[in-house]
């Protein structure tokens, strides 16, 4: 039986060569938001390795929307060309390129994760104010946010739309909105962080209002033939913490949100979990989030991507064969093994595709990879 992992998949107007996606992974290695040689080599290596779609890490739509000073940004025009350079290389290796647009909300202005966790003051390279739906900090290590007023919410919506224009100029093929892991859009969704009493708080419809507005604004700019994804946290895991699980973000609400987003032009839900509250004991194990993707796929009738401790080719194949998800996203496994798709293809007897300069190492019968042709109006330089 042919490998599911190496079968093409139609996503929007794209036909991905396989179902393997590089999950967006922050490198905390930018300066003033600019992509540099590290990002080119990091992402380019995964394209040489054969991933069908590569999602560039969370890229801030405003400077105060960064998690750390080292985050990528797409809040100004000067960010476009360094990102376009990366897109051109990914295309040259036969991989499609996507980017995740993000705003960190109350988790902004933090130190890089390899130093002691703390909120950065302006003299340390941090910034103020930081923003959230309500004036409630994540925990004692994080800064005290200001609640966004209505004008501030409007600015956030415009920032996502403007960033989408820049992503299109850079040549990206897919766009993902980050509404997970306790960052701004997720903060509005969950009643644990959203204590508002206006039209952006209270009911499910109100808490989803900002995300829906962002999706609508992005869809006005992003071409209909290019896919729009949304990453969500399917659950806050509040039942494992001290928080009140009865008033948290749940899988039932995630299904309802997926149904709503489908009507607004979202083609896929990228299903993760957690990140909104501290001291959460997540029962992590191989594929622990896959059941969330499976339920959303079945009940919302929308394609899903599964992520979370997916490490082996057989595991990925089984997820797809069981129709639990349509794509598999690998994160840390791709850090350990940039050429994971080539090994997976060898193990699953899939259709191997090798980078042309590596043809001398390719096994007998392997194809040489074809570059992706530039879209109309996109520079191939």
Catalytic residue check, 183: yes
Q: What does DSSP assign to residue 35? A: -
CA–CA distance, 59 with 66 (Å, rounded to integer): 8
Token pair for 23 = 């999950």
Q: For the chain, how many residues are written?
A: 381
- Which string of DSSP letters, residue by residue, matches 41-68? HHHHHHHHTT-SEEEEEEEESSGGG-SS
203 burial type by CB count under 10 A (0-12 exposed, 13-18 middle, 19+ buried): exposed
Q: Is the dihedral of CA 69, 75, 79, 85 positive or negative?
A: positive
Token pair for 117 = 């966790």
* Given 96, 183, 200, 339, the catalytic residue: 183
CA–CA distance, 158 with 22 (Å, rounded to integer): 28
Provide the β-strand partners of residue 22. 54, 330
Query: Between vectors from CA 93 to CA 87 and to CA 99, what angle results, nearest 5°?
Result: 30
Q: Are strands 14-16 and 9-11 parallel, antiparallel or unpaired?
A: antiparallel
Q: Are 310 and 288 in contact (CB under 8 A)?
A: no
Q: What are the start-end ranges of the H helices in the chain?
A: 37-48, 80-92, 150-169, 184-189, 204-207, 209-221, 251-263, 290-300, 313-321, 332-336, 340-348
Token pair for 356 = 């042309």
The CA-based dihedral angle spanning residues 162, 103, 261, 257, taken in that order and rounded to the nearest 10 degrees: -160
* Catalytic residue ranges: 183
């Amino acid at each position: 039986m042919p490998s599911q992992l190496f079968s093409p998949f139609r996503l929007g107007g794209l036909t991905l060569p396989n179902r393997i996606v590089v999950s967006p992974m922050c490198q905390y290695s930018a300066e003033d938001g600019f992509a540099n040689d590290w990002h080119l080599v990091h992402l380019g290596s995964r394209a040489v390795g054969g991933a069908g779609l590569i999602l560039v890490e969370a890229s801030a739509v405003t400077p105060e929307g960064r998690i750390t000073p080292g985050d990528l940004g797409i809040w100004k025009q000067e960010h476009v060309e360094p990102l376009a350079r990366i897109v051109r290389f990914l295309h040259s290796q036969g991989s499609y390129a996507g980017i995740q647009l993000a705003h960190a909300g109350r988790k902004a202005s933090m130190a890089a994760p390899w130093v002691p966790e703390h909120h950065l003051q302006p003299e340390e390279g941090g910034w103020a104010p930081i923003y959230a739906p309500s004036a409630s900090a994540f925990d004692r290590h994080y800064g005290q946010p200001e609640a966004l007023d209505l004008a501030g919410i409007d600015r956030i919506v415009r920032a996502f739309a403007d960033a989408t224009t820049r992503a299109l100029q850079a040549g990206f093929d897919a766009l993902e909105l980050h509404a997970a892991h306790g960052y701004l859009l997720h903060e509005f969704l969950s009643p644990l962080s959203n204590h508002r009493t206006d039209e952006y708080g209270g009911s499910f419809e109100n808490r989803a209002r900002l995300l829906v507005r962002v999706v609508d604004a992005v869809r006005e700019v992003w071409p209909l033939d290019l896919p729009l994804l949304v990453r969500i946290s399917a659950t806050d895991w509040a039942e494992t913490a001290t928080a009140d699980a009865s008033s948290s973000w749940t899988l039932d609400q995630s299904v309802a949100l997926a149904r709503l987003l489908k009507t607004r032009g979202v083609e896929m839900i990228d299903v993760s979990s957690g990140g909104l509250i501290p001291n959460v004991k997540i029962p992590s194990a191989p594929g622990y989030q896959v059941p969330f993707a499976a339920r959303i796929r079945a009940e919302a009738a929308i394609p899903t991507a599964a992520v979370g401790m997916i490490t082996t080719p057989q595991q990925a194949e089984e997820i797809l064969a069981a129709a639990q998800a349509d794509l598999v996203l690998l994160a840390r496994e791709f850090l350990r093994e940039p050429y994971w798709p080539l090994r997976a293809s060898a193990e699953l007897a899939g259709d191997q595709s090798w980078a042309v300069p590596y043809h001398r190492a390719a096994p007998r019968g392997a194809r040489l990879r074809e570059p992706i042709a530039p879209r109309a109006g996109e520079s191939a330089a």
